[in-house]
Structure 1
Amino acid sequence: MAVARPLRLKSEVFKRTETELAGSLPIARIWVDSGIYHLDQPFDYAIPLSMDERIRIGIRVEVSFNGKPCEGLVIDRVSESSEKLKQISKILSDVPVATRASISLIDSVAQRWAAHPYDILRSAIPPRVASVERGEWSKTKGAPLRITPSRAYIQLPAQQDANKSISEYLSKAMKSGKVLVVVPDSRSAMRLAGNFPNAVLLDSNLDRVQRYRNFLLALSGQADLVIGTRSAIFAPIENLANIVVVDEGSQHHYERRSPGWNVRDVAILRSQLEKTSLTFLGFSPSSEVARLIELKWIRYSSQKQTVPVLYFQQNHSELLPGRIFSEIRSGLHQGSVLFLVPRKGYAQAISCAKCRNIASCECGGKIFRETSKSAPQCALCGKDFGDWKCRWCEGTQPFYIGRGSQRFAQEIGSAFPGFALKSSEGEEIIDVLNDFKGIVIATPGAIPQIDQGYSRIAILEGDSYFSQSDIRSHERAREMFFSSASHLASNGKMLLVVDDSNPIIGALASWKPSIIAQRELRERSDVFLPPFSRALTLDSESSEMGSILKGLQAAVDQGRLPVSTKILGPLLISNGNSRIILTTPVEHGEELIRLIHQFQRKRSASRKSLSNLRIDPYSLTR
């Protein structure tokens, strides 16, 4: 839902009694931050003569809306309007923060995700810092681009630091013009920016002053390379030649706030609107991009190489199968060995060692153990169980289920004594390990960089990555297996603790994610799951779900929704709320979005709380 931003900005106030208007194009078309969802269209305001030379597209102004002062963004100037108009009250800033191109993109995103434009603006434009605007921010005009736009997915190589591979590509791409690159997280952005001293960095972890200054630098045209995280996809860059998205399937590329847009789809929209090249860099494409590759809408550029892969099957749920020990010892004599484990913490659950009853709290929550030194505690209410006793047989000996990284560290340290051991997980991530030789235990996304790479990378409980409940689990696991191989030394080996029938073994060894991706696409196509359908989730109070379901079914019966629309649920999620999932084939997706947009507008107009809406979310169940 649109939330009005408080106005605390210094500005020049013009007399409200002024009646003489600007002579040329005296009407400003403005998006108003009203905080009212259904009032999402632009509104016209008269431009007083005294503001004529200063009202430009992209500047922030204050206007009176429903008797209250509201911030607005000027998106156009026109010659006439059919309405009786109020005048603009104030100019909040003379510095434009949007261009015609970025306004067009924001409008397209708002339509695609059934959102108020200001919900997108809050992501696209950082908060104003008046002191930053005192500098010189005139635009640098460049020569018009003369490129033939291309669309490609470029696979990154194994056994080479991904940061180095990406930097090599960007250095070549910049020869054709300005480049915008969006990476999944701040760690990646900072590492990449370290290779390009003149790049502009756009990241929400920067302080407000630096973030706004960098945004204006990008807008002014003074940067040939802009590196950023999620919101940087909206950065207004004149004469942009290439949009690059790294690891496009990452969950980090999905906006957490409503309406939940994602970088991949915004990048596709932007490349079409601005006629730029579009490049995805990664190890294994998402299902959405894999489908576009099959349709030949995106060119796939693969790496021709193989990776040494050995697999070891667990027979009795042991942590390390017997045959893997010799390979690990060999690796430790050559360099460092990385153990990639699926979970952080110590143990995900506890059962009684005597009767195997799963331990639970009086509130119904699962009991787990965060660290080896902490007491077991409830995952829901947080109650400690320092003197835990089985509620069934009164046994006092716990059996730990679902090893976490700290438990892995204990057992691996005991199995290979005499070697230094480092852990990287959660809030204690190690970015780089220099001059280190020993054992490293890490969770996915927390692998430390190490000189020359790891001599062995052992992925433990490998099948568990593929067995999670959401439809992205195989896609996420595939990306993790392939990306981890970039940390491998040139003479290193991948050691997989997986079932011998798992197709990841052959796919990784031949460096061909398509072996698995194509099969997954066929399976999804058979049941019309994304990317062969558009999907949305609608969360509302459980008491309302009956009437919402009735209205949706009526829309299908009356032909306002395609008959192919599937309505799943409602599913109770939490705090008295339930969820409905709607899917429809891709070709009918816009009809579904339009109807849901109308549904939300009607709720807003009748002063009902908006349903929590996610369109094409990362997961339908998480």
Structure 2
Amino acid sequence: MTTTRPATRVPAANAPVARVLPLLGVPHLDREFDYQVPETLSEEAVPGTRVRVRFAGRLVDGFIVGRASESGHRGDLAWVERVVSSEAVLTPALLRLVEVVARRWVGMRSDVLRLAIPPRHAAAEKSVPDTEPPVGVGVGPVELPRGWDDHPMVARFLEATTAGLPARAVWTVPPGRDWAVSLAALADSVRRRGLQVLLIVPDQRDVDRLAEACRDAVGGGSAARDLVTELSASVGPSARYRRWLRGIRGHARIIVGTRSAVFAPLPELGLIILHDDGDESYVEPRAPYPHTRDVAVQRSVLDGTPLLFSSVDRTPEVAEYVRRGWAHEVSPRPGLIRELAPRVIAVTDSDPAQARDVAGGRTRLPAVALTMARESIDVDAPVLVQVPRKGYIPTLLCGTCRSPARCRRCNGPIRAGRMDAVYGPVDLACGWCGVPETSYRCVDCGSRALRAGVVGAGRTAEELGRMFPGIRVRTSGGGDILDTVPAEPAIVVSTPGAEPVATGGYGAALLLDSWALLSRPDLRAVQNALRLWIGAASLVRPASEGGKVFLSADSESPVAQALVRWSPQGWAERELADRSEVGFPPAVHMFAVDGPAASLAEFLEGFRLIERVEVLGPVDLPPGEELPGHSEVEDPERVLLRVPPPQVGEVASELHAFIVSRSGRRGTHPLRVRLDPVNIG
């Protein structure tokens, strides 16, 4: 870090004016300001470096975005006080991406920069050697990655990738295939051509799994430590910045990270791979709330970087890219899916013939599911049981009218600590205030009876332990997630997304309480349910080896048929057509404008393009949504703007102009704008 004293300041001889973007966090000040560069800082104050400048009497952080010989400002210019680091972290390509993201998602560049560039740590900067010399693109024929022999089209994709063409592809992971091993082999093939590969996954668990597979793919040992690095917030600020520098200085050739890694300015980036784009972890919870999938698309368009989407399912958004030819399918050889998929049986629990246990009463474990589990255990294979929620009995309902059981004091949900075979739920207490409930009575019908609404993993494990004495029952979910289980008789009860991988595959999977996933008041409820089901079913052995899957859902429903036929692509195409017909994303885009009722009324009156978009609302803010500073906001509401794709840029610009016009006024609550929010309402 370098600083200057006021008495010794003289302007730089060359390009003495620095155009600085201060990180102020205020919409109407999200622009460049001119500052004078002292001669003593001239060599360090290059575009892309972090600086400290004085703004309104206080020192603030900023980035130099350019140098010029003169300024259009008529008055005296303030000085650049210091150069925080001579590392030019804000590259021209990253700056273009930041500007596109801020403009499209109606945000500030300062907010996007905080997402894109990790905080600086001086010690980490000194520990990473200078930039590696360019490796250059390899020559010779492209080798087919190990394990990709059954996907002949991948060779053409790699040829386009290594030739520097803007190739975009979609790969649906076949059942039973280890996606991490396959993607690692693909990344190593691109690395061998002298290019860097950026792999983005939803969470730290996937980062660990994929990074380990990448280290194995490059040969392991010290070479793996040098070539593969991870980018995620879980490692701490110093380690994160050091690994980020290893990537942007060219040392790391394969970078595995979570959502913010999509911005990493890698000098020789040859391929971006984004896995499982339907995971809600890709939605940035901080302004301007971009989706990582869409940021990757924007980066591919801006830089021409090849892009691959991989997933066990298919989202309507990716189906739209394939439909209009923007991305192409990496298809397997004919018949591969049928060879690898387990046998799937979908049975609704409303069928009394199927919903009987061995004792003759109604149960969540019908006879067909119990038979599958016993057959799997008989051949010494583990059984996977997926339940929607953790805990014992997360949801209790009135036994008569099925209304949710609520606390008489705070209206919170009543929860049960355990379930007695004769008396039903016992040890009742409020899930919010914790006060025990000793004399429950339904406020709607007056009944004292209670029943389980959704049975959690704990209760399910207890039930299965009684049904299968002598068989080990394990749980995975919450803070205790298993990564792998051995190939031995066992029952693994897991919440969605926490399923461990079984050595040799599971003999059977039981997907219970499907209605709990399908009945969520969310546009993407069915999409998420299929994603979670097919992810669990992918861990089961092929039907030729006895692998079976039980789904407690109506076998005639389209989503159940998508799993039975193992056709997530067909379901996504149908869902895309349905959304196009009713006007929902991705067929159209929706801007959600949230704020106090008075502010939204002002918006509806003053927004210039209000007559050119379809306005829905205002309505109450959806349950679970909170505004920044929500404790001070009265009557929060939401307005939805339905916008055709060609008009997104124009509407976003006008929304930004409206936000800026209100920013400098006192006494106004800010409006929050989101593009295509996950929870529309």
* Other-structure match for 1:186: 204
Is structure 2 residue 359 aligned with structure 1 residue 305? no
Q: How many residues align?
A: 604
| Match runs of 1:226-245 below 5 Å | 226-245=255-274
Is 1:272 the equivalent of 2:317?
no
Of residues 112-121 and 95-104 in structure 1, the stretch that sits farther from structure 2 once superposed is: 95-104
Output aligned runs, 1:9-408, within 5 Å: 11-18=1-8, 20-83=10-73, 84=75, 85-142=77-134, 146-176=163-193, 177-195=195-213, 196=215, 197=224, 198-303=227-332, 304-306=336-338, 307=341, 308-314=343-349, 315-316=351-352, 318-334=363-379, 335-353=381-399, 358-363=404-409, 365-369=411-415, 371-372=417-418, 375-379=427-431, 381-390=432-441, 398-408=450-460
Q: Distance in 2 between matches of 1:478 and 1:288?
A: 15
Tell me: CA distance 1:200–1:36, structure 2 relative to 1, closer, same or farther (3 Å). same
- For the 8 Å contact 2:27–2:108, the answer to whether it is kept is yes
Secondary structure of the structure 2 residue equivalent to 1:131 = helix
* 1:512-591 alignment, distance < 5 Å: 512-552=567-607, 555=608, 560-561=609-610, 563-573=612-622, 576=634, 577-591=636-650
After the TM superposition, which of the residue ranges 432-441 and 211-220 deviates more from structure 2?
432-441
The whole-number CA distance in structure 2 between the counterparts of 1:544 and 1:591 is 22
The 8 Å contact of residues 124 and 238 in structure 2, kept in 1 or not, is answered as: yes
- Structure 2: distance between partners of 1:579 and 1:404: 33
Looking at structure 2, the residues matched to 528 and 355 of structure 1 have their Cα atoms a distance apart, in angstroms, of 36
Question: Are the aligned partners of 2:104 and 2:648 in contact in 1 as well (CA < 8 Å)?
Answer: no
Which residue type is aligned with residue 165 of structure 2?
T
- How far did 1:291 drift? 0.8
- Aligned residues with identical type, % of pairs: 29
Q: For 2:586, give the aligned amino acid.
A: P
Is this contact kept in 2: 1:345–1:370, CA < 8 A?
no
1:503 positional shift: 2.5
Change (3 A) 1:174 1:493: farther
Q: Normalising to structure 2: TM-score of the pair?
A: 0.84
Matched residue SS, 2:617: strand
Instruction: Find the residue that maps to 2:541 and give its secondary structure.
Output: strand
Contact kept? 2:398, 2:442, Cα under 8 Å? no
SS of the residue corresponding to residue 130 of structure 2 reads coil
Q: 1:565, 1:585 within 8 Å by CA — same for their partners in 2?
A: no
* Runs of 5+ unmatched residues, structure 1: 1-10
1:337 Cα deviation after fit: 0.4
Deviates more, 1:47-56 or 1:457-466: 457-466
* Displacement after TM superposition at 1:367 (Å): 2.2
TM-score (norm 1): 0.92
Q: Tell me the CA shift for residue 407 of structure 1.
A: 2.1
1:149-198 per-position Cα deviation (integer Å, ceiling 9, x unaligned): 20001111101233223223323333342100100000000111112233
SS for the counterpart of 2:308 is: strand
Counterpart code for 1:383: G
Q: Which amino acid aligns with 2:14?
A: S
User: Following the alignment from structure 2 to structure 1, what is the Cα–Cα distance between the partners of residues 273 and 168?
Assistant: 10
d(CA) in 2 for partners of 1:409, 1:565: 49
Q: Secondary structure at the match of 1:594?
A: helix
Q: Which residue of 1 aligns with 2:151?
A: none
Structure-2 residue corresponding to 1:609: 669
506-515 vs 67-76, which moves further: 506-515
User: What aligned pairs does 1:444-459 form with structure 2 within 5 A after superposition?
Assistant: 444-459=496-511
Give the corresponding residue for 1:620.
Answer: 680
1:407-448 Cα shifts (integer Å, max 9, x gaps)? 222222223232110011122211222365310111111001
Deviation for aligned residue 1:463: 4.2
User: How far, CA to CA, are the matches of 1:301 and 1:234 in structure 2?
Assistant: 25
Paired position in structure 2 for 1:7 = none
Deviation at 1:103, TM superposition (A): 1.6
From 484, 487, 494, the equivalent of 2:539 is 487
Change (3 A) 1:233 1:354: closer
CA contact (8 A) 1:371 1:406 kept: no
| Mean Cα deviation higher: 260-269 or 406-415 | 406-415
Q: Which amino acid aligns with 1:581?
A: L
Aligned-residue RMSD, C-alpha: 2.3
Structure 2 unaligned segments of length 5 or more: list them: 138-162, 216-223, 353-361, 420-425
| Runs of 4+ that moved beyond 6 A | none
Retained in 1: the 8 A contact 2:384–2:491?
Answer: yes
CA pair 388-427 structure 1, distance change in 2 beyond 3 A: farther
Deviation at 1:274, TM superposition (A): 1.7
> What is the rounded CA distance, in whole Å, between the counterparts of 2:417 and 2:180 in structure 1?
32
Per-residue deviation, 1:542:
3.1
Partner of 2:357: none
Tell me the distance in 2 between the aligned counterparts of 1:356 and 1:445. Answer: 28
Offset from partner CA, 1:381-416 (integer Å, 9 cap, x none)? 423224242156876653222222222222222232
Q: Secondary structure at the match of 2:192?
A: helix
